[in-house]
Chains A and B, each alone.
Chain A
C-alpha cells in the first residue's frame, strides 16, 4: 500500500459526519475513512449477529401465548403480553429464592477468604508461598467431574445434601479465582505501604484489616461479581447435591425447559427470568466484570 496522497485527518470523516472521529493525532492516509466505515459496518453487523438470540428471546417471551409457534419464531409480536412470565414464574420461584440464598453468601464468604489469601500470598509471604499459589490456582482448572463422586460421598456422610452444602461447595471452588483476583490486585500496591503499617505498629491482622482491605474495594467488586455469577450459573453441583426443595434456579430452569411437553415460549421466558440477576449485575457493574476476566488470564 503506497501513500499516494497524504491528507491530515481533521476529524471530519465521511463515516462520522461532523463529530470528531477517534484519532490519535497521526497523519492518516486517504484510505483511512474507508477503513473506518468498514470497521463500523463490521462491528454493527457483528452486534446484530450477537443479538439474534436476544431478539428471539425477547420477542418470544413477550408475545401473547396464543401467537406463539416455533415456525413464527422470527415474527414480531402483534400484541405484547406478560402472560408467559406469569405462567412460568411460580415454577421458578423456589429455585430463584434458593439461588439467592446460596449465591449471595457464597460470594461474600469466598471474597473475604480470597482477600485474606491474596493478601498473604502477595504481601506477607511465608516459606512455601511460591508453591502454594500454583497449587491453589490449579483448583480453578480441574474438571468438576473429577470430584463429583467423592463430593457426593462426603456430603452424604455429613448429611449436607442441601443448600448449605451447595453454598459450601461454591465457596471452596470459588477460592482459587477470588484468591487470584486479590493476589493480582495486592501485587499492584506498593510494599512500602505494608512496611509503613508495620513500622507504625500494626501486625499482620491489623495491617490486613486497616490498610489492605480498605484499599481493595475494587477487587472486592470484581470478586463478588465473578463469584456471584459463577455460583448462580452453576448446574452440575446443584444436580449432584440438591433435591427438590433446595434446587437452584438453573436446575429449575432445566426441568421446565428440558421437558419436551413444555412449549418453547415458556422455556424461553424461564431462561430469561433465570438470567435476569446476573444480567443486571453485568449491566450495572460491567467494567468490574471485565477486570475479573483479566485476572482469570493470569495477567499480573
Chain B
C-alpha cells in the first residue's frame, strides 16, 4: 500500500492529459472505426452496424484507386528526393562552414510556413500556362535557356502529376532532414574517425566504413517521419488545386466524401485505412526507438 504513495501523485498529475488523449485519440479512433462499419450517409448520425461493405467497395472505386496511385507516386518521389537533398545539405555543412547559422537558417525556414502559404506560392511557380501567359518556373527556365525543363507540373496528364507536389513538399521539409543528418553525422564520435584515419583510410573510406553504418537510425527516423507526413498531407494539395483529381490523395478524398458528399461511413473507412497504413510504418518505429532507449 505504501508504495502507492510514491507514485500516485505522479499519475494524478498526468491524468488530465491521459484522459484527454484517451478520448481524443483512442476513443475517436474507435469511434471512427465504428462509423466505418455503419452506413451513415447524410447529416444525421447512424451507427447501426452494416458490415464491412465500405471497405469492400473501395478497391472497385476508381477514384479511390487513382488516389492511392497518386499518393504512392507522391510518397516515393517526396521521400527519396527529400532524403537525398537533406543528406546533401547536411554533408555540405557538416564539416563546419563559415556562416553555418545562415545556411541552416535558409534551409530550415520553410518549415515555419504553413502549407497553405507554401501552396499559394508554388501554385504560381508551377503554373503551366503557355504562350504570353507563361509564368513561374516554366518562364524562368525559358529565360535561362532551360526550356526543355518546362512542363505541366501538377496539371500533367498521366501518373507523374503528383510528383510535382513533391517539389514544394521537399522544399518545406529538406531542412528538417538536413537537421537530422547533421545531428547524426556530428554524433559519430571523432575518436572513431580518427582511429580509421590513423589506420590508413582516406576520407571517402572513412565515410563509407565508419560514418555510414551509424547513419542508419537517422535514415530510418527520416523515412518514417516523411512517409507518415506524405500519407496524411491535406493542406498542400487542397490549396494547390482543390478540384483536381490529378493530385488528389486518399486524405483529400476522405474530406470530400465526408463533408461534401456526406457519406460519413465511406469517409471513415478511408480514414481507417490511412491509420492502418501509417501504423504499419510508425508502430515498429516507436517500438524500436523505445527498445533502443532502454538499452542505453
Contacts and interface: CB of A to CB of B under 8 A. Distances in A.
Contact flag (A, B; Cβ within 8 A):
yes
Interface of A: 1, 3, 16, 19, 21-22, 24, 39-40, 42-43, 46-47, 50-53, 56-57, 70-71, 73-74, 113, 116-117, 119-121, 124-127, 130, 132-139, 141-151, 153-154, 169, 171-173, 175-176, 179, 203-205, 208, 229, 232-236, 240, 250, 253-254, 257-258, 264, 267-268, 270-272, 274-275, 278-279, 281-283, 286, 289-290, 293-294, 296-300
A60 to B, nearest CB: 8
A264 B113 CA distance: 18
A57 B32 CA distance: 40
Interface size class of B (residues with CB under 8 A): 35 or more
B282 interface: yes
A182 to B, nearest CB: 11
7 contacts: A73-B135, A138-B282, A149-B264, A151-B24, A235-B238, A253-B116, A278-B114
Given A232-B114, A294-B183, A19 B129 contact: no
Interface in B97-128: 97-98, 101, 103-118, 120-122, 124-125, 127
Given A146-B271, A253-B116, A275-B113, A73 B124 contact: yes
Nearest to B85: A46
A229 B10 contact: no
Contacts of B117: 253, 271-272, 274-275
A92 to B, nearest CB: 12
A146 B122 contact: no
A176 B21 contact: yes
A127 B7 contact: yes
B72 interface: no
Please name the 9 residue pairs, one residue from A and one from B, whose CB atoms are nearest each other, closest first: A233-B114, A143-B232, A126-B7, A124-B10, A70-B135, A204-B9, A22-B96, A271-B117, A282-B112
A3 B251 CA distance: 55
A5 to B, nearest CB: 15
B97 A143 contact: no
A46 B282 CA distance: 31
B214 interface: no
A254 B108 CA distance: 23
B139 A74 contact: yes
Nearest to A120: B10
A71 B134 contact: yes
A138 B286 contact: yes
Interface of B: 7-11, 13-14, 16-18, 20-21, 24-29, 31-32, 35, 45, 88-89, 92-93, 95-98, 101, 103-118, 120-122, 124-125, 127, 129, 132-136, 139-140, 143, 171, 176, 179-180, 183, 202-204, 218, 221-222, 225, 228, 231-232, 234-235, 238-239, 242, 251, 254-255, 258-259, 264, 267-268, 270-272, 274-275, 278, 282-283, 286-287, 289-290, 293, 296
Given A146-B32, A254-B239, A289-B112, A47 B17 contact: no
B232 A145 contact: yes
Nearest to A128: B11
A68 to B, nearest CB: 11
A186 to B, nearest CB: 12
A241 B220 CA distance: 35
Nearest to B102: A47
A89 B5 CA distance: 57
B179 A147 contact: no
A258 B242 contact: yes
Given A71-B133, A143-B274, A145-B274, A22 B28 contact: no
A173 B24 contact: yes
B139 A73 contact: yes
Nearest to B205: A1
Contacts of B139: 71, 73-74
Contacts of A126: 7-8, 10-11
Contacts of B222: 297
B180 to A, nearest CB: 5
A142 B232 CA distance: 8
A74 B143 contact: yes
A258 B239 contact: yes
A271 B235 contact: no
A296 B225 contact: yes
Contacts of B275: 142-143, 146
B67 to A, nearest CB: 12
Contacts of A133: 290
A136 to B, nearest CB: 6
B21 to A, nearest CB: 5
Contacts of A3: 202
Contacts of B258: 148-149
A186 B107 CA distance: 29
B32 A205 contact: no
A268 B21 contact: no
B112 A278 contact: yes
Given A146-B29, A146-B274, A172-B21, A50 B110 contact: yes
Contact of A293 (B114, B124, B179): B179
A46 B89 contact: yes
Contact of A116 (B17, B105, B116, B274): B17
A270 to B, nearest CB: 8
Contacts of B289: 298
Contacts of B204: 1
A141 B135 contact: no
